[in-house]
Amino acid sequence: MRVSRSWTGRGFAIGLILVATGIISAADAKKPQRPSPPPEPPACNVEQPDYVVFLDDYPTGRFHLAVLPCLGDETVPQVSPQKLELDLPRRESRKFQVANGDIFFDGVVRRIVFGGRAGSNDYWGIYEGVVDISRGMITDIKAVVSTPFVREEDPRFSLDGSTIIYKSNGEIWTIDAQNTAATPKLFYREEGCELWAPSMFANVVAYVRRCGGDRQSDRIVYHPPVGGRDILASEGEGPDRFAHFTATGELVYSHLDANENVASLWIYYSGADPTNLHDETTSDDDAFADRGGSEYIAFSGWGTDAYDLYVYRRSLGNAVRLTSEINVYGSILFD
């Protein structure tokens, strides 16, 4: 059982004693309480990600962290997620809101980028930090791009972690992930259309295109550096959402069949027809492929009264449910 992060009456009293005796400073006392370290991931027979981070609400939720079980086993237990605290002064942490993000692990540091804003009346910006597994916190938080009166969100790393690609007021922009003080660069804009939820593999970029303000017009665009753009075909009327590249260059995404009111998981590789992977929940959404391999794809599926976390296993052709009774949005698989 993991230690609760909430400030109980007893914990608050202890904090006051520590401040009074000078053991900790008043500034430190205002920071989020540090949890005990999460358990080590289990030894698994196949290469797989160790952790998952997700939001419990959108767009005003909080990040949660969970250790993944052995996903290749026939029976897979559910995970026990904990809040992933923001290492900010308590007053700032309470009003700071987070949205979709991405994590890149270089073998030493787990870097995270995410949409964030300081309050409900402020515009979204792009923030970065470090996922500290041992402390259960996001540390070293700072703004990468935060432009007044501009909505900047949906950031993702390129596969090699060198570039951050994101949406800015309906346009697609990039910035050097190694030097976030560099000037952002416009990647693409399209008159009369909103472009959002980008993903990047080598020099290929995919995103969702919405034209004329009609949500039913949402379509995944596959944008290579040369040779024009491909708009992915879909079965049935309805929008496509949240494309994400696998480690081997396939593109996974969600398609909502408006006639059946069912969202399913799809995969596309350049030059081939899109293929349906999974449609066993009423909402296969927020697809995210493991960066370390091409076997696992996380997605949100509608359960009894919440969006549960599922992981699709490509070699087995099925998905396992890993949560219940907590909403899961924008899940991120990582080592």
Instruction: Classify residue 7: in a domain, yes or no.
Output: no
Asked if the structure places residue 36 within a domain, the reply is no
In a domain, 67, yes or no: yes
In a domain, 13, yes or no: no
Q: In what order do the strands lie in the sheet with 329-334?
A: 82-83, 63-67, 51-55, 329-334
Domain hosting 151: range is 44-334
CB 86 within 8 A of CB 94: no
What are the tokens at 255?
């398609």
Phi, psi of 306 (to 5 degrees): -160, 160
Distance separating alpha carbons of residues 209 and 239, to the nearest angstrom:
10
**Domain count along the chain:** 1
CATH of the domain at 271: 2.120.10.30
- Please report whether residue 39 resides in a domain: no
In whole angstroms, what is the distance from residue 73 CA to residue 101 CA? 29
Q: Is residue 238 part of a domain?
A: yes
* Residue at 31 is within a domain: no
Reading the chain (335 residues) residue by residue, the pLDDT tens digits are 222 333 333 333 334 333 344 444 454 445 555 556 677 888 887 789 999 999 998 777 899 999 999 999 989 999 999 999 999 988 888 889 999 999 999 999 999 999 999 876 678 999 999 999 999 999 999 999 998 889 999 999 999 999 999 999 999 999 999 998 899 999 999 999 999 999 999 989 999 999 887 777 888 999 988 877 888 876 666 788 889 999 999 999 998 876 777 788 999 988 888 888 988 787 888 999 999 888 999 999 987 788 999 999 999 999 999 999 899 999 999 99
What does the buried/exposed string (b/e) look like for 30-59 if buried means 16 or more CB atoms within 10 Å of the residue's CB?
Answer: ebbbebeebeebeeeeeebbbbbbbbbeeb
Q: What is the pTM of this model?
A: 0.86
